[in-house]
Homo-oligomer: A and B are copies of this chain.
Amino acid sequence: GSAFAQTSTVTLFGVADVAVRQVKNGNAGTVKGVTSGGNTTSRLGVRGVEDLGGGMSAGFHLESGIELDAGTANASKFWNRRSTVSLIGSFGEVRLGRDSTPTYNNAVNDEFGIVGVGSRGIFVYGSGSNLGSGANTLQRTDNGVSYFLPKNLGGAFGQLHVAAGEGNTVGNKYYGGRVGYEDKQFLVGGAYGTTDVGGTQGKFKNYNLLFNYKSPWGTLHTLFDVKKWGARKSTEISVGATIPVTVGQIRVGYTNADRSGGAVGSGYANGDDSTRLALGYVYDFSKRTAVYGTVARIGNKGAARSSVLYTTPAGMLGGQNSTGAEVGLRHNF
């Protein structure tokens, strides 16, 4: 056990979230199991900020994803969620290290918290979302240099992000940015990013527009997200809502993913489209602890193979549907 004696401020934080889940992925069949992070990704983090005086501060942030059902951390990249050091002042923030990309940051404010069987995250960063390009930047990049606008711009925010290719790294070299505005009622944002992926097809490109509307009856979540690589293109439109009820919250979400340009059978041909429909309920014991339940279905057409598992299992064939249901317990610390 431990008491802490120094004057600096280091915070140990995280999420422990485990769900019981049943999924069916076409010919890959039905799997019942226990899984990590149906509501929020399980993690452990350490972060801190030092006041440097004169309106300046320095900070660090380390965050490690955990598969809480099996006790595993990422074997090759322990601090896989974030490892950064920052210098912050009236000029904004300069942040160095591994971090999420502007295009991801602009897409992750959905009704399901971007994880679980019901989230639009399946299309934002799940199987096939890089259009087969090898881009490894749908969530985060290594070797990032980010600049964030200062926080006192009356609700406006912005980020520029460059990730070094470091000579020969394919799929990590990224340029991107995001601008937006948030107040008590609206959150709107636009982001654009390109990733060097080698080959002759050109860069992988991603841009998206986020529009959320917050009101007493609930929050509307929308996202328009486009990915392009050579002739391949995927356009997703998502609409969802978080609706407070007498006890707890109801969550509903819908996505239509329209793919085109790829060869027939590739999963990226015209008509290789997918539709997501999800319904969930969250009961909050406190601000930190909740139980939740979600049911979701992804319908695939043509050779499309999107799955509620994010990583499509090998046995699932193109055009087969994916369904999932989960009940879990989430605790923030």
Residues in chain B near residue A94, CB distance under 8 A: 329
Q: How far in angstroms is the closest Cβ of chain B from A318?
A: 21
> Which of B10, B66, B71, B328 is within 8 Å of A1, CB to CB?
B10
Q: How far in angstroms is the closest Cβ of chain B from A33?
A: 4
Contact A12 B46 (CB under 8 A): yes
Q: How far in angstroms is the closest Cβ of chain B from A140?
A: 8
Residues in chain B near residue A46, CB distance under 8 A: 12, 14, 44
> Which of B5, B60, B66, B285 is within 8 Å of A52, CB to CB?
B285
Segment among A82-90, A104-112, A263-271 that sits at the interface with chain B = A82-90
> Which of B4, B20, B52, B328 is within 8 Å of A286, CB to CB?
B52
Given the interface contacts A34-B164, A56-B285, does A68 sit within 8 Å of B84 by beta carbon? yes
Interface string of A47-90 (1 = CB under 8 A from B): 01010110010111010001111111101111111111111000
Residues in chain B near residue A44, CB distance under 8 A: 46, 62
Contact B50 A69 (CB under 8 A): no
How many copies of this chain does the complex contain?
3
Contact A1 B5 (CB under 8 A): yes
Contact A164 B32 (CB under 8 A): yes
Instruction: Please measure, in the bound complex, the distance between the C-alpha atom of A11 and the C-alpha atom of B6, giving whole angstroms.
Output: 8
Residues in chain B near residue A185, CB distance under 8 A: none
Q: How far in angstroms is the closest Cβ of chain B from A196?
A: 13
Does A142 reach chain B (CB closer than 8 Å)? Answer: yes
Contact A68 B50 (CB under 8 A): no
Residues in chain B near residue A79, CB distance under 8 A: 66, 68, 71-73
Contact A13 B31 (CB under 8 A): no
From 96 to 129 in chain A, residues with beta carbon under 8 angstroms from any chain B beta carbon are 96-98
Contact B85 A329 (CB under 8 A): yes
Given the interface contacts A3-B9, A69-B143, A285-B58, does A96 sit within 8 Å of B164 by beta carbon? no
Pairs across A and B, CB under 8 Å, 12 listed: A3-B6, A3-B7, A3-B8, A16-B62, A20-B96, A34-B97, A34-B166, A50-B333, A58-B289, A69-B98, A70-B98, A70-B142
